[in-house]
Every structure is written in structure tokens, then in C-alpha cells.
């Protein structure tokens, strides 16, 4: 076979695939196309109500250090990336990974970076199983619930020793 024959065959094959993709994007093709989307749950700082003893001039009290977790979910095709910033507590990573797997997501990669401020930066990359539909809100709700339960279990634990 010469180069021209190989190139013409490859070009024909690419055109066929492109036609299948354009025509077969509907029902019955087995190809699920998901648009890329992002949902972010942002950490907010809570302020305490001023006490009579907190400040004689009625200045606002200091911010209460009870951070909410930051959770980001990004979809790209059949892949999903979950990034969260949360408190470092015993069993948090295991609980979050188990919750992600319970959502029928196959974990491809997981990175955990501890910081000196007793927080964890967790990034999880996973593939969505073809038979299941999962939404950004569903992932955020389940991961938030797992973090909430982990923090409840660790309320009596010693503070982080970073």
C-alpha cells in the first residue's frame, strides 16, 4: 500500500465517524453527550452577634472560625472532577472517597494536600458509569453530608497538630 491509499482510507473513515457522531447523537446511539458545567459551594465566614462584653464601643465581634467546606464539581464528558477544601479530621478522606464511589463514580485519581491551618485540599478525578446519571448538586449534597458526619464524629477529638 502506498501513502495515498492509506491517507484516503483514513480520510474516508474520519468522515464516516463524523457523520455517525452528527447523526447518532440522538436516542439509541449509546453515546451520551454531557455539556461541561460547574457548581461551586462557596465558604462563608459567619460573624457573631456583638455582646455587651465583646466591645465597649459596640464594634462587631471577631469572625467565628467555623468554616464551611468549599466544594467544586466540574464535568467534562464522562469525567468529573471534585475539588474540596475542608477541615482536617480523622477519617475525612476515607469517608469522602467512599461517598464518591457510592455515587457509581470510578475514581481515577485522588490527591490530598494537607495545609498548616488544619485543612485538607482534596481533588478527586472520576469517571461516570454509563448506566447512572449523577448531577453536580447530587455530588455536592452527598460529599457535604459525608463531611458533616465526619465532623460530628470528630467533635470530641483533639485539635489538629499541624
The answer to whether 72 touches 84, Cβ cutoff 8 Å, is: yes
Which pLDDT value is given to residue 83? 94
35-40-46 Cα angle (round to 5): 170
Would you state the cell numbers that stand for residue 94, as one nine-digit string? Answer: 476515607
Compute the distance between CA of residue 157 and CA of residue 139 in angstroms, rounded to an integer: 27
Asked if residue 14 has pLDDT above 90, the reply is no
Asked if residue 8 has pLDDT above 80, the reply is yes
List CB contacts of 25: < 8 A, sequence separation 6 or more: 31, 33
pLDDT band at 44 (very low <50, low <70, confident <90, very high): very low
Please give the average per-residue pLDDT across 53-78, as a whole number: 63
Which pLDDT value is given to residue 37? 58
Which pLDDT value is given to residue 58? 43
In tens, the pLDDT along 64-76 reads 445 558 999 999 8
Query: Of the given ranges (58-62, 64-68, 74-78, 143-147), which has the lowest mean pLDDT?
Result: 58-62
Compute the distance between CA of residue 135 and CA of residue 130 in angstroms, rounded to an integer: 13
**So what's the architecture of 32-153 in CATH?**
2-Layer Sandwich (3.30)
Compute the distance between CA of residue 69 and CA of residue 139 in angstroms, rounded to an integer: 14
Closest CA to 122 of 135, 109, 140: 109
Compute the distance between CA of residue 88 and CA of residue 119 in angstroms, rounded to an integer: 5
pLDDT band at 40 (very low <50, low <70, confident <90, very high): low
Would you state the cell numbers that stand for residue 48, as one nine-digit string? Answer: 457573631
Which pLDDT value is given to residue 88? 86
Share of the chain above pLDDT 90, in %: 26
The domain segmentation of the chain, as residue ranges, is: 1-31, 32-153
Asked if residue 19 has pLDDT above 70, the reply is yes
Amino acid at each position: 500500500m502506498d501513502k495515498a491509499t492509506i491517507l484516503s482510507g483514513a480520510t474516508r473513515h474520519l468522515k464516516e465517524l463524523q457523520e455517525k457522531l452528527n447523526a447518532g447523537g440522538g436516542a439509541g446511539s449509546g453515546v451520551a453527550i454531557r455539556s461541561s458545567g460547574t457548581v461551586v459551594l462557596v465558604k462563608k465566614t459567619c460573624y457573631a452577634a456583638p455582646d455587651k462584653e465583646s466591645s465597649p464601643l459596640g464594634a462587631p465581634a471577631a469572625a467565628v472560625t467555623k468554616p464551611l467546606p468549599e466544594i467544586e464539581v466540574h464535568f467534562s464528558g464522562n469525567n468529573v472532577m471534585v475539588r474540596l477544601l475542608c477541615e482536617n479530621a480523622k477519617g475525612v478522606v476515607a469517608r469522602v472517597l467512599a461517598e464518591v464511589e457510592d455515587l457509581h463514580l470510578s475514581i481515577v485519581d485522588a490527591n490530598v494536600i494537607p495545609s498548616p491551618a488544619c485543612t485538607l485540599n482534596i481533588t478527586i478525578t472520576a469517571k461516570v458509569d454509563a448506566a447512572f446519571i449523577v448531577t453536580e448538586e447530587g455530588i455536592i449534597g452527598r460529599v457535604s453530608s459525608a463531611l458533616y458526619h465526619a465532623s460530628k464524629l470528630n467533635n470530641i477529638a483533639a485539635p489538629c497538630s499541624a
